[in-house]
Structure 1
Amino acid sequence: MKSTELFEHASIQELKKGYLEDEHCYTCILCNKNIEKGIIYPYNNQLFEAKKMMQTHINDEHKSVFDYLIGLNKKMTGLTEHQSNLLRLFYAGKTDSEIQKELEIGSASTIRQHRFALKEKERQAKTFLAMMELLKEKDTLTPEFVPIHSTATMVDDRYNITNDEQQELIAKYFPNGTNAHILRFPKKEKHKIVILREIVKHFPEDKTFTEKELNAILKTYDEDYVLIRRCLIEYGFMDRKEDGSAYWIKK
């Protein structure tokens, strides 16, 4: 499972681009893929420098930064399903009349009202972000919270976990290290998330597992591998085919 720290700490401008840049490489904020500088990359009978290759990666793998962001969990975007649908159509360049016909709601003036409501939400978001930035400069007591993975489901207080809490729980449940058998699989939801997050770190992101392969790995952590496998799916860490023939890390 990719870390969400890059995503959590990226600036608005960095989020818009979809990648970070340092001295050595470009890193995709959306999936953590690194593209090294100083290398010429062949692509469809063309040669791209690293920056162009990163932009191409985002288009190929994520369609666009907008498409990735709009597809995030409601808890991540703060948008209703209706608002998300409207933004998708606005981004696609549809007119108010075209959107009204496609969604079969109200009239073209109704769509204009929705545009105004979204602009109001934007103004509120700017104000809130400014206040939070100012708060960070003054508040030295707020603990660091563990970023929520972007594919998380059922996002609520169970994800209210500080870095210190996470380290304490890891030490408790993995007394022999995070590659070894856990003390026990916890009943508390918050504890489950910490355990699952740590287990999934050891899975390669681009590999597809058969159920047998996945079970064999999970058995190294706990005999009740079926429960852990089910929780990995329920909490959005992994996905699978409907017939259970293939499993993979959810991106």
Structure 2
Amino acid sequence: MSLSEKFWNASIDELKQGYVYEERDRNGFYVCLVCGKAFEKGVIYKENDTYYEAEKFTTLHIDHVHGSMFNWLLGLDKKLTGLTDLQKGLLRAFRQSLSDGEAAKALEIGSTSTVRNHRFTLREKAKQAKLFLAVMELVEEKPEVSSPFVSVPRSASMVDERFAITEEENAEILKAYFKEGVDGPISEFPKKQKRKAAILRQLIKRFEIGREYTEKEVNAILSEVYPDYVTLRRYLIDYGLLEREDDGSVYCVKI
């Protein structure tokens, strides 16, 4: 099964609920992470004789079409979840609030102590996953002192050789992601750092040096580029291109 980049960019809470909210052309949509179907905010949807607002209808769509997100996620390949069939069976039993004895009997795996050991192992696995996510987020953020954009104007070359991009590479990246030209939207926000760097350096050009922006103004500019403008805003700050007051009241180009 091929999962979308939208799926992989979703937060834990969004994965649990099965959908994300995004803005397109000034309209809001609730988008199913499983199939990509979108439901417009403000539109009333009908099922049988009942009417639902968009977000509620999105949850019904996920339950009726894909089953619960718990079962759908658990049904993914082991390569994606890292879970064995036995572990999946145990998790289903735990979700049903079965006791260790009932789970052992239902899964035919022997004693309650065996189930208890598996329960402990799964909890440890969850702790490890939580720590790993924290570490990976820190890797993505990178310490400010090593940012390739710290204290350099947007026209300067990047300092960190890991992010060095030739003019030819930069042009190819922009052409690949700005399919309607550099003044238009991007087709997606890549994971690779070089590509992010090229896109962000282009985006900062949409802001005037010396001008102060409110968060709403920043969001308005970035929402024309990509639905997930919050991610773009965060990376512009993380990469030292955009800076803001601690209370988020003022944003400006970092020079």
TM-score range, shorter chain: 0.5 to 0.7
Q: How many residues align?
A: 145
Q: Provide the rounded CA distance (Å) in 1 between the counterparts of 2:11 and 2:20.
A: 10
- Residues of 2 paired with 1:44 and 1:50: CA distance? 15
Gaps of 5+ in 2: 148-161, 164-172, 177-255
Q: Deviations over 1:26-45 (max 9, x none)?
A: 00111111011111111121
**Greater relative contact order (Cα 8 A, min sep 6): structure 1 or 2?**
1
CA distance in 2, matches of 1:117, 1:76: 18
Is structure 2 residue 49 aligned with structure 1 residue 51?
Answer: no
Matched, 1:125 2:129: yes
Q: Are 1:42 and 2:43 matched, yes or no? A: no
Opposite residue 97 of structure 2, the aligned amino acid is G
Q: How does 1:1-251 map to 2 (within 5 A)?
A: 4-23=4-23, 24-138=28-142, 141=162
Deviation at 1:3, TM superposition (A): 5.6
Provide the C-alpha distance between the structure 2 equivalents of 1:32 and 1:2, rounded to a whole number of angstroms: 12
* Superposed displacement of residue 115, structure 1: 0.7
RMSD (Å), alpha carbons: 2.3
Which digits, 9 at most, give the CA deviation of each residue in 1:49-97, with x for residues without a partner?
Answer: 0011001001101111111110001010011121111112212222211
In 2, are the aligned partners of 1:16 and 1:65 still within 8 Å (CA)?
A: yes
Deviation at 1:106, TM superposition (A): 2.1
**Alignment check: 8 A CA contact 1:2 1:31 kept:** no
Distance 1:22 1:15 in 2: 15
1:237 aligns with: none
The residue number in structure 2 matching 1:227 is none
Q: Which residue of 2 aligns with 1:209?
A: none
Calculate the TM-score normalised by the size of structure 2: 0.53
| Conservation of the 8 A alpha-carbon contact between 1:2 and 1:32 | no
Runs of 4+ in 1 over 6 A off after TM superposition: none
Deviation digits for residues 199-237 of structure 1 (CA, Å, limit 9, x no counterpart): xxxxxxxxxxxxxxxxxxxxxxxxxxxxxxxxxxxxxxx
Residues 2, 131 of structure 1: alpha-carbon distance in 2 compared, 3 angstrom cutoff: closer
Aligned to 2:58, the other structure's residue is in SS state: helix
Partners of 1:85 and 1:77 in 2: CA distance: 13
Greater radius of gyration (CA): 2
Matched letter for residue 18 of structure 2: G
SS at match of 1:31: coil
Provide closer, same or farther for how the CA distance between residues 54 and 2 of structure 1 changes in structure 2, counting only shifts above 3 A. Answer: farther
CA distance in 1, matches of 2:2, 2:84: 26
Structure 1: state its 5+ residue gaps. Answer: 143-163, 168-251
Aligned partner of 2:84: which letter? T
Once residues 108 and 82 of structure 2 are traced to their aligned partners in structure 1, the CA distance between those partners, rounded to angstroms, is 24
CA distance, structure 2, for counterparts of residue 10 and residue 73 of structure 1? 19
